[in-house]
Amino acid sequence: MQDIVGGRIVVPLLWVQDAVVEGIAERLGVQSGDPIVKDTRSEGDQLGYRAVHIVFQVHGLPVEIQVRSARQQVWAQTVEFLDQRMGTDLKHGVGPADWLEWLKDLSTSLRNGDLDLPNELPEPPR
């Protein structure tokens, strides 16, 4: 766990995400020292999660702001929906291998959409 308090901002496009992250980090740098910015958009994590997290201190307490594109939010909500529906923990890498692989492929496809590259949504496992 990195934070005690957190929030999430969902934006429509990557350039808006960049601007929001830059603005927050710049503002926080002035007020509370250098925030930690973790950007997993290019590669995603080992499961396909993509976003930017900004971690900083407020009165000595760790705070985290997640900034996601709309497509990154779709991916995260899909994982949560599947976990509830299937009784798995795909979010943490626990579940059927075919679904874990599909989520990685979905993440790549959604990333391509964010970059305005050709993309085709993968068929989910049956």
pLDDT value at 25 more than 90:
no
Same domain, 77 and 107: yes
Q: Which CATH number belongs to the domain containing residue 36 in this structure?
A: 3.30.460.10
Same domain, 84 and 64: no
Same domain, 39 and 50: yes
Residue 18: CB atoms within 10 Å: 15
DSSP 3-state assignment of 38?
A: strand
Mean pLDDT, to the nearest integer, of 68-80?
98
Mean pLDDT, to the nearest integer, of 58-80?
93
Same domain, 52 and 16: yes
Number of independent structural domains in the chain? 2
Q: Is residue 125 part of a domain?
A: no
Q: For residue 77, what are its two tokens?
A: 């909500």
Predicted pLDDT at 30: 59
Domain region containing 101: 71-114
DSSP, res 118 = -
Q: Where do the DSSP E strands lie in the chain? A: 5-11, 36-39, 52-58, 61-69
Alpha carbon distance 50, 28 (integer Å):
22
Same domain, 42 and 93: no
DSSP, res 95 = S
DSSP, res 111 = H
Taking the model in full, what pTM does it have? 0.90
Q: Is residue 122 part of a domain?
A: no
Q: Is residue 121 part of a domain?
A: no
pLDDT value at 122 more than 90:
yes
Contacts of 8 (CB under 8 A, 6+ apart): 65, 66, 67, 68
pLDDT value at 28 more than 70:
yes
CB 52 within 8 A of CB 41: yes
Contacts of 109 (CB under 8 A, 6+ apart): 119, 120, 121, 122
Q: Is residue 38 part of a domain?
A: yes
Same domain, 49 and 18: yes
